[in-house]
């Protein structure tokens, strides 16, 4: 497990956030403790939004962080649609590292020792598509199936040990090995070794039923990383914020509204460390109000770093805070003008 911590370049963004919260509290008359709790909860929610899986990471936003109409398709990391995108990524990753026997060139030319298996692969299976290694593809294009079969058989002779059918446990071990090799996301990062899956050692096979059941099992893990941020929100707890709708304030957890339900099914570890100065410490020249939120799995498989979760989260919240302060100031100006 790995945590996400802001790099040095984000310190300015953190200080800007502290300044914004102070302005918000002074302008609205909120307790600074409540303003800090609210922002910490909303920051955790923004981290969910910018943590994989995300259905539309390139969606356009305006200066206040709102989506621009027509700026992209799909949803975001905190929306229900992100589940389907996460499940799709799992499906594609696993199918990249495993083949059904009838789709495997090694099986068609070595294990079964039958030219008819090669012809079936060539005309009905994956053999209809180009092979990733050029010299193998040239053999595949030979219209004389017997000759092509003989050449492939000579190349792959003795490689059948790689092609024993994997059960679910074997498939999991192979998947774990490939995730480690390709830093979590196999298809996305496979350029690390472009020809790996074209070489014999990059091939494994399993029955379709084994592949399908394993994919469904792994898909149930989608949202686990995000739930670490949800744990932070729950630890921060309800906050009392004065709004126009609730002028006396009402206690509620911020950051949960509209959050995709599938994220709630997980319970990853997250910590919210709250450090407020004592109300009795009146002699302190500078009172510091601080909440550190830490997702204990937020960078699993380097996912947080790859997705630039920290940078995007801080930028998103900065835009939202600026927009919120602007709206509050405009409301105050309108209220003042109407009373003249």
> For residue 39, which of 279, 311, 293, 258 has the smallest C-alpha distance?
293
Q: Is the pLDDT of residue 11 over 70?
A: no
Q: Which residue has the higher pLDDT, 61 or 92?
A: 92
**Long-range contacts (CB closer than 8 Å, 24 or more residues apart) made by 32-39:** 32/289, 33/276, 33/289, 34/239, 34/240, 34/241, 34/249, 35/241, 36/276, 36/289, 36/290, 36/291, 37/236, 37/237, 37/239, 37/254, 37/274, 37/291, 38/239, 38/241, 38/254, 39/317, 39/321
Q: What is the mean pLDDT of residues 59-69?
A: 51
Q: Is the pLDDT of residue 69 over 70?
A: no
Average pLDDT over the chain reads 78
Q: Which residue has the higher pLDDT, 226 or 313?
A: 226
Residue 57 CA neighbour count, 13 Å, CB half: 15
Q: What is the mean pLDDT of residues 11-31?
A: 66
* pLDDT for residue 126: 77
Question: Where does the pLDDT of residue 306 fall: very low under 50, low under 70, confident under 90, or very high at 90 and above?
Answer: low
Question: Where does the pLDDT of residue 213 fall: very low under 50, low under 70, confident under 90, or very high at 90 and above?
Answer: very high
Phi and psi torsions of 75, nearest 5°? -120, -140
Q: What is the mean pLDDT of residues 74-91?
A: 85
- Global pTM reads 0.73
Residue 310: Cβ within 10 Å count: 21
Q: What is the mean pLDDT of residues 283-297?
A: 75
Q: Is the pLDDT of residue 196 over 50?
A: yes
* pLDDT for residue 72: 40
- State which of 27-36, 82-91, 149-158 shows the largest mean pLDDT: 82-91
Question: Where does the pLDDT of residue 223 fall: very low under 50, low under 70, confident under 90, or very high at 90 and above?
Answer: very high
């Amino acid at each position: 497990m790995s945590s996400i911590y802001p790099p040095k370049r984000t310190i300015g963004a953190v200080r800007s956030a502290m300044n914004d919260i102070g302005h918000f509290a002074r302008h609205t008359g909120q307790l600074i403790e409540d303003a800090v709790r609210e922002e910490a909860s909303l920051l955790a929610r923004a981290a969910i939004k910018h943590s994989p899986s995300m259905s539309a990471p390139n969606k356009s936003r305006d200066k206040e962080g709102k989506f621009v109409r027509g700026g992209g398709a799909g949803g975001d990391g905190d929306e229900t649609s992100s589940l389907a995108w996460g499940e799709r990524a799992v499906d594609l990753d696993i199918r990249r590292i495993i083949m059904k026997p009838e789709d495997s060139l090694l099986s068609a030319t070595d294990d079964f020792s039958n030219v008819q298996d090669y012809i079936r692969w060539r005309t009905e299976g994956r053999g209809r598509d180009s092979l990733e290694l050029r010299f193998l593809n040239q053999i595949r294009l030979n219209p004389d199936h017997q000759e092509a079969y003989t050449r492939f058989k000579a190349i792959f002779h003795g490689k059948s040990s790689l092609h024993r059918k994997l059960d679910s446990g074997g498939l999991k071990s192979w998947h774990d090995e490939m995730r480690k090799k390709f830093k979590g996301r196999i298809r996305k990062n496979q350029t690390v070794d472009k020809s790996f899956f074209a070489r014999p050692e990059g091939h494994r096979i399993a029955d379709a039923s084994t592949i399908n059941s394993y994919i469904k099992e792994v898909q149930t893990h989608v949202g686990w990383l995000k739930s670490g941020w949800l744990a932070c929100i729950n630890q921060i707890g309800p906050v009392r914020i004065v709004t126009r709708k609730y002028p006396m304030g009402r206690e509620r957890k911020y950051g949960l509204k509209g959050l995709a339900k599938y994220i709630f099914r997980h319970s990853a570890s997250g910590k919210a460390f709250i450090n407020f100065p004592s109300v009795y410490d009146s002699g302190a020249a500078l009172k510091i109000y601080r909440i550190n939120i830490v997702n204990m799995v937020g960078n699993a498989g380097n996912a947080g770093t790859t997705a630039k979760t920290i940078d995007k989260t801080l930028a998103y919240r900065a835009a939202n805070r600026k927009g919120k302060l602007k709206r509050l100031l405009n409301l105050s100006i309108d209220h003042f003008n109407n009373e003249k």
